[in-house]
Structure 1
Amino acid sequence: MTVARLSGITYYPVKGCAGTAVPEATLTRAGLPGDRVYAIADEKGDPRWQGGDPALALITPELTEGELTLRAPGRDSIPADSADVHAWLTDVLGVPSTLVRCPAGNGGRLHLVSQASLDALNHRLAARGATPVPMDRFRPNLVVDGWDAPHTEDGAARLVVGGTELAFTEETIRCAVTMVDQRTGLRSGPEPLRTLADYRRAADGGLAFGAYFEVRRPGGLTVGDEVTVGTR
Structure 2
Amino acid sequence: MSETSGPASGDVGAVIAGLWVYPVKSCAGVQVQEAILTETGLEFDRAWMVVDAQGAFLTQRELPRMALIQPQLKTHDMVLRAPGMLALHIALDQVQEPVCVTIWDDEVKAYDMGPIAAQWFSDFLGVKARLVRFDPEEKRASSRQWTGDVEALNQFSDGYPLLVLSEASLAGLNEKLQAAGATAVGMARFRPNIVLGDLSGDNGLAPHDEDRLELLQIATEQGVVQLKPVKPCPRCPIPNIDPVTALSSPEVGDALQTYRQDPRLKGAVSFGMNAIVLQGNDHLLRVGQSVTASYNFG
Same fold at TM > 0.5: yes
1:107-159 per-residue CA deviation (whole Å, 9 max, x = no partner) reads: 66110110000011111111111111111110110101113410010011110
1:197 and 2:207 aligned:
no
Aligned in 2, Cα 1:156/1:209: closer, same or farther, shift over 3 Å? same
The correspondence for 2:44, drawn from 11, 34, 50, is 34
Partner Cα separation in structure 1 for residue 76 and residue 45 of structure 2: 12
Q: How does 1:99-114 map to 2 (within 5 A)?
A: 99-103=131-135, 104-105=154-155, 106=157, 109-114=161-166
- Please report how far the alpha carbon of residue 181 of structure 1 lies from its aligned counterpart in structure 2 after TM superposition: 0.6
Which ranges of 4 or more aligned residues in structure 1 deviate by more than 4 Å? none
Partner Cα separation in structure 1 for residue 179 and residue 79 of structure 2: 42
Letter in 2 for 1:101: R
> Matched residue of 2:115: which SS?
coil
Q: How does 1:1-232 map to 2 (within 5 A)?
A: 3-65=13-75, 67-80=77-90, 81=113, 83-103=115-135, 104-105=154-155, 106=157, 109-146=161-198, 147-163=204-220, 164-187=225-248, 189-203=249-263, 204-218=266-280, 219-232=283-296
Letter in 2 for 1:95: V
Question: Is contact 1:78-1:85 (8 Å) kept?
Answer: yes
Aligned in 2, Cα 1:114/1:38: closer, same or farther, shift over 3 Å? same
Q: How many residues align?
A: 231
Structure 2 stretches of 5 or more lacking a match?
Answer: 1-11, 91-112, 136-153, 199-203
Greater shift, 63-72 or 218-227, is seen at: 63-72
Partner Cα separation in structure 1 for residue 205 and residue 119 of structure 2: 48
Partner Cα separation in structure 1 for residue 13 and residue 276 of structure 2: 23
TM-score when scaled to structure 2? Answer: 0.73
Letter in 2 for 1:224: G
Task: Give identity over the alignment, percent.
Answer: 38
Question: Is contact 2:160-2:274 (8 Å) kept?
Answer: no
Aligned in 2, Cα 1:210/1:108: closer, same or farther, shift over 3 Å? closer
> Matched residue of 2:121: which SS?
helix
* CA RMSD, 1 decimal: 1.9
Letter in 2 for 1:166: L
TM-score when scaled to structure 1? Answer: 0.93
Aligned in 2, Cα 1:193/1:155: closer, same or farther, shift over 3 Å? same
Partner Cα separation in structure 2 for residue 32 and residue 108 of structure 1: 11
Aligned in 2, Cα 1:94/1:109: closer, same or farther, shift over 3 Å? same
